[in-house]
Every structure is written in structure tokens, then in C-alpha cells.
Structure 1
Amino acid sequence: MTAPRWFEDGRLHLGLGIEDTFVPQERPGERAIDEYELTEHYDRYREDFALAAGVGAEVLRWGVPWYRIAPEPGRWDWDWTDRAVDALLEAGLRPIIDLLHYGTPTWLAEQFASADYPQHVAEFADRFGERYGDRVVDYTPVNEPVIHALFSGEYGYWPPYRTGAEGFAAIAANLARGFVLSQEALAARIGDRATFVHVDAAISYVGDESAPEHREEAERLRHQVHLVEDLVTGRVDDAHPLRDRLAPAVTDAELDWFAAHAVHPDIMGVNYYPRHSTELFEPGVRHGGGFADPRPSVDRGTQGLREALERFAARYGAPVMVTETCVTGTVDERIRWLDASIALVESMRSEGAPVVGYVWWPLFDMYEWTWRHSDRPRADHLLTMGLHDLVESPEGLLRSANPVADRFRAYASRLVTAP
């Protein structure tokens, strides 16, 4: 009988994340965005890992910049990643590697729409597993594939700027192909020690659906949230509500391939932000999405989090983990949400729900993605979300602990041995 894996020991595992969005492509009016560069994590990674360990985090969701590791086809530059992985492990943290947190290398034409994308991302996964798999065994193959598919495929907000239902289907399908091949490559390299944390955004909708045409649209939106995960886990067949919308991006033969090559989460990660994750469905109102024309959001607090965790656990039959949550606001607002969301998770666990972890995102503040479409300095795009404030200084961005860090540390101290 094999020993339980780390998330099967009965404890609630507490963690943090470092915002790691990478969209390196530029065009007139759009700057490349690299959150590690904006937050100076490339220079301060040792300090940042020490901060995470210092507040008692056990796990750290942390991504790697594919576009820097693979600056051109066939060339691999592991220098910074080698140093960072060593420092992360030396800090005593357990990394859950975000293999893909948006963005492809700049040389990959058509990005997520490229016919070669699945093979390229799978090669990246294979080489990462070859290099680090003896020490790093927990992976998220694709963070928030629904956001990838919406921003790059339906809204035309990120490369390759596809739009509409066909764009969404094409990007979702190609992401799913790469997802499957990446997980297979990592599993082949690492074996039974590998743990796969699938992570998606807990988008939900509320609103008036009284007319039949409105009910149909609302139902499409709700199933669309799960489409990539449904594909990679082999759940899409002719009876799936979105099967017709996938044509011609996914053929019947490909559906058979997904079913035969289904990959499953060991943990299903749920990214939930109370002020943003629930969108208002308004009959007859068409939204372009992204930041140009967003749907209004509705704050459903801990009830929305409960429903998201229950929905993902039931749909995929795996333990669940809050893999991202926070509120952007004052220190008091952040502490209130930390208290409320951890209390909710503990209550669910006492009821028998399979919730194995909780990640506050992020460790320190970040910069809003609208920076990409702006010519203003980064300070104008600061989002106050973290346990540590980012403070501009002549020496660069300083990290200054705020009272949210103290509250998080107190939870970590209490939960480290609690069943």
C-alpha cells in the first residue's frame, strides 16, 4: 500500500501565490506584460521566497516564464529558473508549478491558435520535468484555461486576438490538446510521485433568465466555464451541451482521442474572487468581455465560494483547493475576507467536504493587466491585494509587511498541526 500523498494527510494546507502573468507580445498601443518584471521578482526572488516562508506558507503557487526559458526555437535558457528553483526549495516551500500562466514565446506565430502549439508546450513540459522532476513534483499544466480561451479566443483582448464563439472553440480546443500532452509528458518523466493540480476560474452567472433564449445563453455560459477541463478529462461526447459549438474545431475523431487520453486532476483548484467571480447576466445585453466591456459583477461572498468548491468537486470527483482568492481593497477589507473565507473552508471540512488547501493570492501586491493598454507608469496600476505592500523607493520596489501578513501567519501557526 502506498503512503498518502501530501494533500491526503487530513490537514488543511495553507499557501500563497506570486502573480505570474506573462503576455510578451507587443503591438502598437499594447505593451508586453510580465508581472515578474513589473514587481521586480526576477531580482528579489530570494527575498520573496523568504517572505512566503516567514508567514508560515507551506505551498507556493509559482509560475515559470516560458517565453524567457525558450527565447527562440530549439534554444533553452534555464539560468534564472535554476537559481530560483534552488532558492524556493531552500526556503522550505513546496512549489506547485504554474507551467503556463498565459502567454507563449514571441516566436510562436498565432500563439495558442498555432497548429504546433500543443507540441511546443508539451516539449516545454517534458524538458522542465527532465530538469526539475527529481525535486519538483506538483504541477498545474495550464492556469485558468477558461480565461485563456475568453481573452485570446472570444474577446480579442490578448494574442492571437480571435473573437466570437468560433474563436473561443478554437483556442479552447488547442489549449486542451497541449494540456493533455503536457500532463502526459510530466507524468512520464516523474512517475507516481507527480501531483497534478488543475486550476480554473470559478466564473458563475446570476440574473434574469425567464425567456427561453436567455436561458439558452445563460446555460452556454455556465458550461463554457468548464469546457477545457471537460475536454482534457474526456467528458465531452455527443451529449455534451457544447458539442455542437466545438465544431469544426474538434472532430469526432479528436473527441475519441481526448477520451482515450483523458488526464485527471489529483486536486481540482478553484480560483475565486468574491468581487469579480460572479457576473450579472442581463437579457439582451451583449458584452465584449475583457476590460473594454465587462459584465457587471455581483459580490456573493462566501456563499459563492462554497458553491464553486462544491460544483468543481462534484463535477470532477477530486479533492478541491482554493488556489486563488483575495479582495483588492484596504487592509481591513482583506483581513475580513481572509477570516471569512478560511472560516468557510474550515466549516466545509467539518461537514466532510474534500477541501485540502487554501491559497491567498498574491503574496505581495501586483499590477493590473490594464497596464498593457496604457502608457502610464506602473504605480498608476497598483492593486492592493497582498500580505505585503509594494513600495516605490530609490532602491526599487520594497516589500513592506502589512497586518494581513500577521493574520495569515496566525492561521498558518494554528493549522500546521490541526487535522
Structure 2
Amino acid sequence: MTETPWYLDGRLHYGVGIEDTFIPQEAVGHRKLDEYELTQHYARWESDLELVAESGAEFLRWGVPWYLVEPRPGEFDWSWTDQVVSKMRALGLRCVVDLMHYGTPLWLENAFLNSSYPERVASYARAVAERYGEVWTDYTPLNEPFVNAEWTGQNALWPPYLHGQDGFVRIMMQLARGMVRTQQEISTVLPEATFVHVDAGFLYEGETSPLPRSLMELRRTLALDLITGRVDADHAILPYLTEHGVTASDLEWFRANAVTPDVIGVNYYPRFSNGRVEDGAFTPVRSDAWGLRRLVEMYSERYGLPMVITETSLVGTPAEKIEWLRDSAAELHALRAEGHPIGGFTWFPFFTLVDWLYRFDQKRPDEWFMEFGIVDLVRRADQGLERVPNEAFEVFQRLAAEGRGQ
């Protein structure tokens, strides 16, 4: 008898995530951005995992630093990840593995634009699954493809530093090919693996410029439409793709190699996921559960697949975080009662992160601390970052316990 997947067992599972952006490439005015290094997770990983378990979380979104695990093409160093995986097993933590959270290894010339990127990332993903498949069964091939294509292909902020819509499309096509090949390769060695596709849930209000709102909304789901083979001659985004160099044979490849995620991961931040776009600048305009409901309804109607809220949190006081924990949980319970298959809720990030803008100046990491977490980072005299749970930690514990008792 086939076991019911965890995300379909009728419960709302509570999880957390540790911010895992890795942009190791340096340039003039652009310093290395490694969130594990900046938050001292490499040194404190064991106590961090113990704190995750103490929170009551049943699962953890956690990423592999590809650039360190594969320091040279085809050569792997598992010395650190072996320890982490062993600890996760001992704690009984399910890991939803972030295989690609933005950055590529230093040796991959031109990063995502490299012609071998789709096969390189798939080969690395297969190696991870081969080594850890007995413990890690849940995989995200690539986190937030839309945001990735914006920062690397449209806004020239991360390698390979492309500009404009042509750059956005070129990078998105590479990312999507890599996602398909990653799922295919992992499935070869782990046929029962669960694939969690994670999308950034931006919502747009009013008219947008320079791109019209209708196109902005189509771009938001472009990666998922590509990998599932939905982009055909009748798709509304086809003229945009064709204008920027996508050929019929490109799209035929995706239709011939279509893959379907098991779960759609929806990322929603109440203070910056909804907004207006004017002259390319995004201005947040809402801060409530309306957007969370809207995204769940949209993805449910479009794809009809199980969902997990893979990221949500806010920068604010503990009282504000507690309010959002309760409001978002209540909204998810209401949506579940209406028939939407939502199997999980993830507070992400678990503790303080360093704002990505740290990469572009010389200020100390502390000056870029963003207090999203239910655990704060506090710099001590010895320069260590102490983990200090705030009041929202206990509320999360109670909600997680209620989830386990459903």
C-alpha cells in the first residue's frame, strides 16, 4: 500500500526555513553574499538545528551551498553536509532541500548563462540525491525563478549581470531547463522523491509600467508554465517570448520533457509581496492576509496541485509577528475548509537575515540585519551571534503543536 504523502495527510504541518542565499562571485563594488557565513550558521549549525526542533517545526527548508559542495567540476566535498544530514536524521526533521537558492559555483563561467548550466545543476542535484536519498526525500530544484531572473537577467545585480527583458527571458529559459533536468535526474535515483516548486508570490495593483500588468502576471508563473509544458502556440505570453529570441524548438523541448511538481510552494510576505510597479520600481501597498488568500486561490485554480506556504514572515516587533502568525494561520485554515489542498506553513526565515543589499557596500553585516525571524541574532563581545528566541517563538510552538494534534 502506498503511504499518503505528508502534505496530503489532512494536517497543516508547520515548518521554518533558514535563509540560504549564496552569491560567491566578487567584483568591484560587489562583495560575496553567503547568508550561512554572515549569520554564522556554518559554525552554529548543530545548535541551530536543535533550536528548529525545539520550535516544534516538523520540517525545515534548508539549502545546500553548491559552490562549496562542488568546489571543482565533478569533485564533491560532503564533509560538512554529512554532519548536517546526520543531525537532521537524529532530530527527526524533514528537510525540504533547496538545491539552488540563487548562486552558482565560481568555476561556472557566466553563471546561469553558461551553456552547460542545465546539465551541471542536474548532475549536482543527482549527486546530492544519490548520497542523501535515504534521509532527504523532498527537493526544490530552484527557489523563486522569477526573482532569480530579475536579479541576474533584468536588473544586472547578480552574475551574469544581464539587463532588460531580453536578459530576463534568456536567464529564465536557462533556469527552467535546469529545473526540468534536475527533476529528471533526481527521479532516476529517487523515483518516490517529492518535488516542491517554490514561486515568489508577487501581486500587482493598478496599471504597471513599462510592462503592462497582464504581462507582469504572466511572467510571474512563466517558469511553472514552461516546466509543465503549458507554453504552446495559444499561450498569451508567446509574443513576449518570441520577441526576445525564444524559438518554437525551445518550447517544443519543454513540452517533450514536461515535468509536474508534487507541491507548489507559495512565498508571500505581507509587507512587500503586494505592490504597484511604475517605471520598473516596485512600491508595496498592502499588509494583510488578502494577498495570501489571493495567491492560494490563483495557484489552486491555475494548476490544481497541492500547496505549501514555503515562505512568509515580516520585519517588525514580536507582537506584529504574533499577529501575522495568527492571522495567516486562520486564513489558511479557512482556505483548507474551502477545499484548497494546503499541507504546510513555513515561517521563513527562522532567524535574522542579512539584507541582500549588504553585497553592494562595505558596512558591517549588523547594519543590514533584517529581523524577520522568531529568533533574533544578537552580536556579543566575542563577535559571536547569539540566537535569542523572541515572543513569537512560543506562539509558533503552540501553533505547531496544534497542527500535530489535528
TM-score computed with the length of structure 2 as normaliser: 0.97
Q: Secondary structure at the match of 2:15?
A: strand
**Partner letter of residue 341 of structure 1?**
S
Q: Deviation string for 1:363-392 (max 9, x for gaps)?
A: 111111111011010110011111111010
Q: 1:367 to 1:215 in 2, by over 3 A?
A: closer
Structure-1 separation of matches of 2:357 and 2:272: 16
Give the CA deviation at 1:310: 1.1
Where does residue 46 of structure 2 map in the other structure? 46
Structure-2 separation of matches of 1:398 and 1:353: 39
Q: 1:19-418 alignment to 2 at 5 Å?
A: 19-191=19-191, 193-208=192-207, 217-247=212-242, 249-282=245-278, 286-287=279-280, 294-393=281-380, 394=382, 396-418=384-406
Give the CA deviation at 1:395: 5.6
Structure-1 separation of matches of 2:41 and 2:362: 22
Does structure 1 retain, via aligned residues, the 8 Å contact 2:8–2:306? no
Where does residue 291 of structure 1 map in the other structure? none
Q: Secondary structure at the match of 1:296?
A: strand
Structure-1 separation of matches of 2:3 and 2:81: 30
Q: Secondary structure at the match of 1:81?
A: helix
Q: Secondary structure at the match of 2:283?
A: coil
Structure-2 separation of matches of 1:271 and 1:216: 23
Structure-2 separation of matches of 1:66 and 1:315: 32
Structure-2 separation of matches of 1:406 and 1:382: 22
Structure-1 separation of matches of 2:196 and 2:137: 11
Q: Deviation string for 1:215-261 (max 9, x for gaps)?
A: 97111111011111110011111121221222354321221121121
Give the CA deviation at 1:166: 0.5
Q: Which runs of 4+ in 1 moved over 4 A?
A: none
Q: Secondary structure at the match of 2:377?
A: strand
Residue-pair matches, total? 404
Q: Secondary structure at the match of 1:270?
A: strand
**Partner letter of residue 205 of structure 2?**
V
Structure-2 separation of matches of 1:327 and 1:309: 19
Where in structure 1 are there 5+ consecutive unaligned residues? 288-293
Q: Secondary structure at the match of 2:190?
A: helix
Structure-2 separation of matches of 1:75 and 1:353: 43
Structure-1 separation of matches of 2:12 and 2:322: 19
Structure-2 separation of matches of 1:207 and 1:196: 34
Does structure 2 retain, via aligned residues, the 8 Å contact 1:275–1:299? yes
Does structure 1 retain, via aligned residues, the 8 Å contact 2:8–2:341? no
Q: Secondary structure at the match of 1:30?
A: coil
Give the CA deviation at 1:76: 1.1
Report sequence identity in percent. 44
**Partner letter of residue 57 of structure 1?**
A
**Partner letter of residue 228 of structure 1?**
A
**Partner letter of residue 318 of structure 1?**
L
Structure-2 separation of matches of 1:409 and 1:340: 16
Where in structure 2 are there 5+ consecutive unaligned residues? none
Where does residue 14 of structure 1 map in the other structure? 14
Structure-2 separation of matches of 1:249 and 1:357: 38
Structure-2 separation of matches of 1:11 and 1:190: 25
Deviates more, 1:116-125 or 1:390-399: 390-399
Q: Secondary structure at the match of 2:284?
A: coil
**Partner letter of residue 275 of structure 1?**
R
Structure-2 separation of matches of 1:206 and 1:101: 28
Structure-1 separation of matches of 2:277 and 2:363: 33
Structure-2 separation of matches of 1:54 and 1:157: 37
TM-score computed with the length of structure 1 as normaliser: 0.94
**Partner letter of residue 202 of structure 2?**
I
Q: Secondary structure at the match of 1:27?
A: coil
Q: Deviation string for 1:100-151 (max 9, x for gaps)?
A: 0000001111101111100100110111111111221100000000011111
**Partner letter of residue 362 of structure 1?**
P
Q: Secondary structure at the match of 1:398?
A: strand
Give the CA deviation at 1:320: 1.0
